[in-house]
Structure 1
Amino acid sequence: MRTVRVLGVDPGLTRCGVGIVDGAPGRPCSLVDVAVITSDPGQDITDRLLNLERELTVLIDKHRPESVAVERVFSQHNVGSVIGTAQASAVAILAAARFGLPLYTYTPSEVKAAVTGSGQADKKQMTTMVTRLLRLDTPPRPADAADALALAICHVWRGGTKQKLENALRKAISNDR
């Protein structure tokens, strides 16, 4: 089974988790890099988004992932938080597109289920499992870093299957025409 390199992005405007892993479905993944890109909430939004784009570009250029997995933005009660998360997500999507990388999105419950076996896992359980799965000596901190690594692991383990299903569906649709 071929090893793939995946960049996981836990989007956030103040703290954006970024994790890169190598792995193959059904096999342990290994840590390549992990970071949290931060910005000052007092800065102008354009500066914050440009900083995020620059930092993501550097990481993609340095590590050359084969695909990017981003947490799907979901509705929260705090509209301001959703807007910032959506903006950060759009920057990650744009960075992947600039490098011609396939992009996949996963809901928080999909990631939790892939990594812990339960779509209802809490932050502590996620961090514990990411630490164990990547055989790390210390847990990745803050939680945004662990979440980004969980996204990358989720895609390694589920992405191949997801891609095969999408390809089969596309083929079936084109054959019906």
Structure 2
Amino acid sequence: MRSTAGTTNALMLAGALLAGCAGGGQLRDKEKGSEMNLQEAASRADEILDATFDAIKPEVRWTHGETTVGSCDVTRRRAVMTAISEARRGSFLGVIERFWRQSGYEIKSVNSSRKFPAVYAQSGDGFGISLSIGGGGQAFFEVDSPCVEESDVAQPTTPANGPDYSGGPIPRPDVHDDFWSSLGGLSAGGGRTA
């Protein structure tokens, strides 16, 4: 009996795992019976990015990165063309982390490296959101959708507010901002930076 129960539990677990891989994990509104498709997921990712960039004060210049489509998911990317100085990186990530928390996103992980910090979050509807600082103080944003229904995916409709490098290589940040590119002075909260 014990082995039969164990086998049954193992089969139920395996079935649940397979269902998740085969679309059981797809984003859907069970009340309405509707499912989000790749284009709708890409539009939702764009909304998340638009709202995030609206929260950054002073504004930074950015360009679209590559959109990638997997077997059932889509990723939208943006690269910040404003150089974020090492002295400002903590403030920059703090602004984003606070905004994401206020938006109801769960902060999954924070890398507090001084040179290459990052923050990873997840929205209530299953979108993975990340901000990482790379070489030259360049900030990269990425939004990954959960598994959704297949469809065509159009390019983002929000125009970049800096030079548009979409479809080609993105250079290192080349925009100086008196606040974000500053090597010291006042922090975003008005206090002195270390």
TM-score, with structure 2 as normaliser: 0.27
**Whose Rg is larger?**
2
Higher percent of residues as helix:
1
